[in-house]
Structures are given as structure tokens and as C-alpha cells.
A and B are shown apart, each in its own frame.
Chain A
Amino acid sequence: MEACRLTATQLACRRGERLLFAGLSLDLEGGQALQIAGPNGMGKSSLIRILAGLMRPLDGHVERTGGTGLLDEKPVLDEHQPLGRALDFWSRLDGQCAALERLGLDDLLDVPVRYLSTGQRKRAAMARLIGQQAPIWLLDEPLNGLDREAVAMAEGLVADHLKAGGLALIASHQPFDLPGLATLSLAQFTP
């Protein structure tokens, strides 16, 4: 996997009139993972979008080396298409097929995406993320809607991603079981 690095310096974020956080810095290299912890509404999702380059921070800047994959609450798969075809769209763009057996999706390929449960959608989104082959993973609440088995599987996927030289940033209010996972509490940056 290509070398990757994610650096953020003195980030500040405002939503509407409210200053969510300020002075947040982080630096991650390949093989490292960081959990952003904090209750709902603290700005975890905003931070993820700023790090992905999809939103401009109020202050500070972000540097990314390497491709970036984003997993958030949207599966980003065509609702009316069968799962197999919806994933094919992304594998054609990314030139990679996703690991379907491992995610337990191979039985669902004929099912239209709109009939999938929350957990199945999440797993399908992970398949899309893996197929993208991006070294930087930005995961926004990756465990939402997953059962215990799928949680273990998701944790295993992130562990493998780190072993392969990628980095991961996990925004979650749930505990994420990963050896060597550092935690950053967003609460300490709120004004």
C-alpha cells in the first residue's frame, strides 16, 4: 500500500453560530489508528468531513498524503439496484472487486439495496470502502447498526488495514476494540 499520512493543524470548526471545537491537531502515519470519542453533537462528523476535504475548517489546515476513503451513515449505493450491481459501479471506478465473502454479502447480491437492513447496508458500505484501496480510512460511527459478530468483523478489517500499512481515524461513541488504538476526546477542544 502506498505511503500515507494525515496531518491536521490547529483545526477549528463552526456550525451555524456555534463553535464546535478549536485548536485540534493530530498526526497519523501508516499503521496508526486514532479514535475520536465524544457524545453526539460534539462535531465528530464535521471533523471527519473536514479531514476528508469535503468541508472547509474555520481555522487551521489539513494535509493528506494518499487516497482517502470515507465511511459514514450513507451506504452510497443505488437504492433500487441489486446490491451486486450497485457495488459493481464502484468497483468499475476503483478497478477493484470488494471482499464479499468476508463481509457475509455473497448471499445478498441479488437483493435490491433498499431492502437491506441497517447492518447489511453498513457491511455493503465497508465492501465499497475496501474496494477503493485507499490507505487513509475515515470512519464515521462504523459500528452503528452492527450486531456483535459484525462488530468483531469490522474491528478485524481495520486491524488488517493497519497491518497492510494504512491508517484509520474512527469517530465513534462506542468502544472500538483494536490493539494500540489511541483515543482523542473531542471534549477537551470545545471552548
Chain B
Amino acid sequence: MKGFGSLLLRDLARFTPGTRGGGTLLPLLFFLAVAMLYPFAIGPNPVLLAQTGGGVIWVAALLAAILPLDRLLAPDVEQGFFDQWALRGIAEEMVVAVRLLAHWLSFGPFLMLAAVPASALVGIDAQTLRLVEIGLLAGTPGLAAIGIIIASVTVGLRGSAALSGLLVIPFAVPLLIFGAGALSTGGSGGLALTGAISLLLVAIAPFAGGAAIRAAREG
């Protein structure tokens, strides 16, 4: 596992919100902004808000996860980092796995924190908030993995930001159905399925990402 520590430190310095390396708070602010705007759009109906608020938090989380995609892998490919790593015998799969971990750490836990004020804004109760938090814990690794896969597939394309956003949405539908669906059924089955889908995506992502980056290098 040559370079695991150095790579992870570099990635964390670049992606963690508020760090000097250019990690940005924008996805978080975007997430909170959606939660804030929602009651204005729906109107002050507490029953309606409580019923739909959890789902809105999920949609906001999904959209917030799309924002950093274009700076996830493309800059390192363009600037030749992947070439230099390849020459040093560091596999693309390892780099992508480390990047997946850093990407999740840079938005997953922060979204879960931000879900607390967001739950107050959309007016959901503590019980629903608990389901949302567990769901986000189970679902955000999957969202991160989808993001990494899409970012690696669109690596060589110009103007890939909008395209990757569009591509993420269909892949995220299963996570959304089971994760947000658990809110209405209240059962743990949906959450377990969300976790299972997440694990599968996390397992695939490094290999899919590594292959995509090698293919882009040939072009």
C-alpha cells in the first residue's frame, strides 16, 4: 500500500470544507439553503412539512453531493498526477479508493451534522430525524461512490460538470427510494437495503474508476 498515507493526507487537505487547499463549504451551504427555501415554497403547513421534510433533506443531500464532482478527479488527470503515480507503481485503483474515502469524509459527516439544523428548518420531529441520520450514514458512502465513478468516466470530457450531474441522478434513484422510503414505512428494511447498495457501490468504485482513468490516458 505504497503512498496510502501521503495520498490520503493530500486528498483531505484538498477536499475538507474550509481548508486552505480549496475545499469548499458550498455543498453544505447549498444543502442548508434548500432546506431553508422549502418551507417558503410549500407554505407554513406543519403537517405537510413534517410529512415531506425528510424526503427534501434526502434530495438536498443528493444534489449537494453532485457539486464537487468536476474537481474530484479531472484536475489530477489533466495536471499529470496520475501519470507520475503510474510511473511509481501506484495503481489507479488505490488512488481512486483513497479519493473515495476522502470525498466521503469531506461531505458525508458534514451533511449529517447539517441535517440537524435542516430538520428544524423543514419541521420534522426527532424520530424522523433519527431515521434521516441513519439513512444518510448508510446512503452517503454510496452517493460518494457513484460520484467517483461518474467523475472518472467523464474525466477527459470538456464541460463535464453538467453531464456528470445528469448521470448521477439515475444511479442515485435506488439509494433515494430505499433511504427516503424508510421514512414513510419507518422500518429498518429500507435502511438495510440502502446500506447494502452503498457497500456494493463502494466495492465497485475503485475498479471502475481505475479502469476509466487508464482508458482516458490512452485517448
Contacts and interface: CB of A to CB of B under 8 A. Distances in A.
Interface of A: 52-56, 67-70, 72, 74, 76, 78-81, 89-90, 92-94, 128, 132, 134
B79 interface: yes
Contact-residue size bin, chain B (C-beta under 8 Å from the other chain) = 10 to 19
B166 to A, nearest CB: 28
Contact of A89 (B6, B22, B79): B6
Contacts of A53: 86-87
Contact of A74 (B2, B79, B90, B217): B79
Contacts of A90: 84
Contacts of B2: 93
Contacts of B83: 52, 54, 70, 76
A52 B218 contact: no
Nearest to B214: A54
A50 to B, nearest CB: 11
Q: Which 3 A-B pairs rank lowest in CB-CB distance, beginning with the nearest? A: A74-B80, A76-B80, A92-B6
A55 B21 contact: no
Given A55-B218, A93-B3, A70 B10 contact: no
Given A55-B217, A80-B22, A94 B88 contact: yes
B145 to A, nearest CB: 25
Among B6, B84, B88, B218, max chain A CB count under 10 A is at B84
Interface of B: 2-3, 6, 10, 14, 20-22, 79-81, 83-84, 86-88, 90, 217-218
Contact of A54 (B79, B88, B217): B217
B68 to A, nearest CB: 16
Nearest to A92: B6
Contact of A72 (B20, B80, B88): B80
B88 A89 contact: no
A124 to B, nearest CB: 13
A94 B88 CA distance: 8
B21 A81 contact: yes
Contacts of B20: 80
A134 B2 CA distance: 16
B1 to A, nearest CB: 12
B215 to A, nearest CB: 11
A53 B89 CA distance: 11
A70 B84 contact: yes
Given A78-B10, A89-B6, A93-B3, A54 B86 contact: yes
A56 B215 CA distance: 11
A52 B2 CA distance: 20
A49 to B, nearest CB: 8
Contacts of A134: 87
B86 to A, nearest CB: 6
Nearest to B84: A76
Contact of B10 (A52, A68, A72, A89): A89
B86 A93 contact: no
A56 B22 contact: no
B210 to A, nearest CB: 14
B80 A132 contact: no
A130 to B, nearest CB: 14
A93 B22 contact: no
A93 B6 contact: yes
A180 B3 CA distance: 38
B84 to A, nearest CB: 5
